[in-house]
Structure 1
């Protein structure tokens, strides 16, 4: 009876060990290993081009969003700071040389003020005894002369002043990540985009990730705010009705595998290299990562794919797997020069010995369990 019990325990232990060995291929891991990824190369009848990264590849694949305003925006000159537009409000003052019986005021009142005179939708204003006068498109000086001509036949040598007040005519809407959203008049200090953004309180997000969009007459242009500040020549003149929106860069990449963290990472600068991307997730996991197995997965436009592969026959988006080997003498330089793009997936494989460790651990655990069962049986 005792012998059969021992044999049964040994048989059970053997079965457990064999089961562990068979199940080794299904042990937990963070994703495919390097061999499995390389097996999917188009060179092996797979559906992706596997490309080792070198200087040529980095240059051919290095593209970033080309932001900038079109000629339509750039060629618009500065508005006359005093140009009157429909919706503006004006302050008009008339000085008459008649004391006893002035045209506009009461007896003894030589100065008459017309405050908050609004330019109507058709661009006209109404001045007593002068009638409707075209104001839109004129400067305050031009309008002053027009009113003088209308009144000088009715009151001797009238002296008139016209002041353009802030109104609804020449305005710009500013919204998004700014200190103060609202509708702002285009005035002498705020005739350009950069000046208007300052008027709106600047941005509430980092300048390095801020994008400024300007919509005018159905057309939209955009620019990196950082570029706008660094290069004043990129600044543009504003026009009535412009809509300015400041938004944060929405680009991101995904980090997976044997790294310090696995997550979706937002871009925090215009350009991010593979080396910077690895650093932002804590670098490689020194316990399990394979420095020869750093992959960047991307759907590449045909134009770039052809340039990378030295071909001319590809059309449509191509699945590309870029391989970085950080153990090479220039590996870190290649990672520094390779540009990460929106939607990229960075994946780091586990080192080959990691699966062996897991297998040995499983076998050891199974053997210990078998021995415990055997001892219990005895």
Structure 2
């Protein structure tokens, strides 16, 4: 290869080096954080996204922790739970002492719900001597007083006992990553989330405890059961009401995506619904020290609206790992580790060398 060709190759290589290896293959967010933001803005406008670029600092982490402390259960509406009130489909047991003709015999082998009277769909109950009564919305004490008053016309000083033999009028739906998904009845004991989960066989190992959803009257809030079980946050242990839907998602629905210069890029599930930036990098095998630029660690997050945030961590110093451990990820976050400049340059060279060798081989063959 003569001197002219060698000189031209040197000029081409120098030009590529000065251009910052723009021809390097793969994904990249090169340059300073502000420069990366400026380059990304045109594509953001084309996608209709409003992007905010934020460096990860102790102040930012404090603000994010304060924002996560919002008391979601306060967003729920509903009446305060008082004494249990009878409703349609409930089975009532009425015992009139010393008057067995007014009492359905229970028998040794009869179930409790078979030894009672069913409240019909209109909320009414039929009882001997009295006839049809509207009992829906009453407590057992109120019904006992009403029956005693009506029976006093036929029985002197009647002594009654009224109780609910089977609770069928109020129920909640517990579904998702739970031992026994299904319907749980509401009885005279107030039914909380912890009680409903216990009745349903407990959470499975794949339950996402930090993003449990409770839907009531068409409105859904997200509850943090990990905070309830681990830190005793009683505010998360909401009192359930009729037709509430409690959904426990699985960790397969809560993943973060680790990409770029890590040893094992992957979609990592959030165990128990929690994962920090440091944990995500560790799950992916850590930053590839041979190819990565530790000053370019990004977390890309999109919210429910048409906006996104790009968080930047400069992990050149070891103390930055403390920030990475304190930075909590959310489902579907994208963690991206940028490429070192020398790595991009080597990748450009690796693409050019085969062509250069081919040219030299072709020239040598023509000179023979």
State whether TM-score is above 0.5: yes
In structure 1, how many angstroms separate the alpha carbons of the residues matched to 2:40 and 2:171?
A: 62
Please give the secondary structure, in 2, of the residue aligned with 1:147: helix
C-alpha distance in 2, partners of 1:318/1:163? 56
Matched, 1:69 2:70: no
Alignment of 1:151-170 (within 5 A): 151-155=151-155, 158-170=158-170
1:164 Cα shift? Answer: 1.0
- Conservation of the 8 A alpha-carbon contact between 2:300 and 2:308: yes
Please state whether the residue corresponding to 2:338 is helix, strand or coil: strand
2:337 aligns to what SS in structure 1?
A: strand
Contact 2:299/2:312, CA 8 A, preserved across alignment? yes
Question: Any residues of structure 2 matched to 1:80-91 within 5 Å, and which?
Answer: 80-81=83-84, 83-91=85-93
Which residue of 1 is the match for residue 47 of structure 2? Answer: none
- Residue equivalent to 2:295: 292
Instruction: Calculate the aligned-residue CA RMSD, in Å.
Output: 4.2
Partner SS, residue 121 of structure 1: coil
Q: Which runs of 5+ in 2 are unaligned?
A: 45-50, 107-114
The residue correspondences of 1:52-131 to structure 2 (distance < 5 A) are 52-60=55-63, 63-64=67-68, 66=70, 68-70=72-74, 76-77=80-81, 79-81=82-84, 83-96=85-98, 104=101, 112-113=104-105, 115-131=115-131
Q: By how many angstroms is 1:237 displaced?
A: 2.6
Give, in whole Å, the separation in 2 of the partners of 1:72 and 1:369.
71
Report matched runs for 1:223-262 at 5 Å. 223-229=223-229, 230-231=231-232, 233-234=234-235, 235-248=237-250, 250-262=253-265
- Give the direction of change, closer, same or farther, for the CA distance of 1:45–1:131 in structure 2 (3 Å limit): closer
Contact 1:209 1:267 in 2 (8 A): no
| Alpha-carbon separation, structure 1, partners of 2:25 and 2:153 | 95
| 1:176-325 pair list within 5 angstroms | 176-189=176-189, 191-206=191-206, 209-229=209-229, 230-231=231-232, 233-234=234-235, 235-248=237-250, 250-269=253-272, 272-298=275-301, 321-325=310-314
1:340 Cα shift? 3.4
- Whether 1:356 and 2:345 are equivalent positions in the alignment is yes
Change (3 A) 1:228 1:365: same
For residues 215-242 of structure 1, the C-alpha deviation after alignment (integer angstroms, 9 at most, x for no partner) is 3344444311222334263223333333
Contact 2:208/2:249, CA 8 A, preserved across alignment = no
> Using a 3 Å threshold, how does the CA distance of structure 1 residues 348 and 116 change in structure 2: closer, same or farther?
same
Aligned length: 344
Distance verdict in 2 for CA 1:168–1:260, change over 3 Å = same
Q: 1:32: which partner in 2? A: 28
- Per-residue deviation at 1:209? 3.3
Structure 1 residues 122 and 337: alpha-carbon distance in aligned structure 2, compared to 1, 3 A threshold: same
Aligned equivalents of 1:296, 1:207: Cα separation in 2: 24
By relative contact order (CA 8 Å, sep 6+), the higher-ranking structure is 1
Residues 166, 246 of structure 1: alpha-carbon distance in 2 compared, 3 angstrom cutoff: farther
User: What runs of 5+ residues in structure 1 fail to find an aligned partner?
Assistant: 1-8, 106-110, 302-315
For the structure 1 residues 192 and 339, does the alpha-carbon distance in structure 2 shift closer, same or farther, using more than 3 Å as the test?
closer
* TM-score under structure 2 length normalisation: 0.73
Q: Match for residue 137 of structure 2?
A: 137
Structure-1 separation of matches of 2:104 and 2:28: 86
CA shift digits 1:79-109 (9 cap, x unpaired): 425x422220112344546xxxx9x48xxxx
